[in-house]
Amino acid sequence: MTHIAHMNWGRLLHDWDDPRVADFMNALDTINGLGKRMAGFVWMMEGSGEPGSGNTENKINGDELLVPNLTVWQDVASLEEFVWDTVHRQFYERRAEWFEVLGDMGFVMWWVLEGHQPTLEEALARLDHKRQHGDSDQAFGWSYLKDATKWRQSRCKQEAAA
């Protein structure tokens, strides 16, 4: 059986403790906790477990301001429900307040075998594959998934990645 892995990252506009990103930082535990309780949730890359830190210990290229998120879901419908039909959507819609607008989006999905917990390095390799080759069975975005509909309804914009 296969599951769907998802990774996104964004680069904060300000340091972690800056009041301008406080709404985002203060919501990390709530949003991550909600995701973990959703039907269809399988696994999430964890950080230190310190309140309000999310996955901030997981660095990309040593950049302190990059925020990665890596999860596994049973199916596309479960991931879509979390992203678009919960309070997560409110924070997604505010992402440009907290994250740089990127020319190249830091978002990728791919299929994994049940029980597999991908690494950040694996996710970044998948993202690189998607950037080099476009959507394929190896790495893809929402538009590649026939069963994904909620992202179309939300009129997903390619602004900031997180």
pLDDT tens by residue, 114-158: 999 999 999 999 999 999 999 999 999 999 998 888 877 765 444
Would you say domain 2-153 falls under CATH 3.30.70.890?
no
Where are the domains positioned within the chain? Answer: 2-153
Category of 80 on φ-ψ map: left (φ > 0), alpha (ψ -120 to 50) or beta:
alpha
Beta strands in 2-122 (DSSP E): 2-11, 41-44, 66-73, 107-113
Q: Are 56 and 67 in contact (CB under 8 A)?
A: yes
Cβ-proximal residues to 5 (8 Å cutoff; 6+ apart), any chain:
70, 71, 72, 109, 110, 111, 112, 116, 118, 123, 126
> What pTM was computed for the model?
0.86
- Taking the C-alpha atoms of residue 96 and residue 122, their distance in angstroms, rounded to an integer, is 27
Q: Using alpha carbons, select from 71, 77, 2 the residue that is nearest to residue 35.
A: 71
Strands 107-113, 41-44: pairing kind: unpaired
pLDDT tens-digit map of 53-108: 455 556 677 788 888 889 999 999 999 999 999 999 998 889 999 999 876 678 99
pLDDT tier for residue 162 given thresholds of 50, 70 and 90: very low
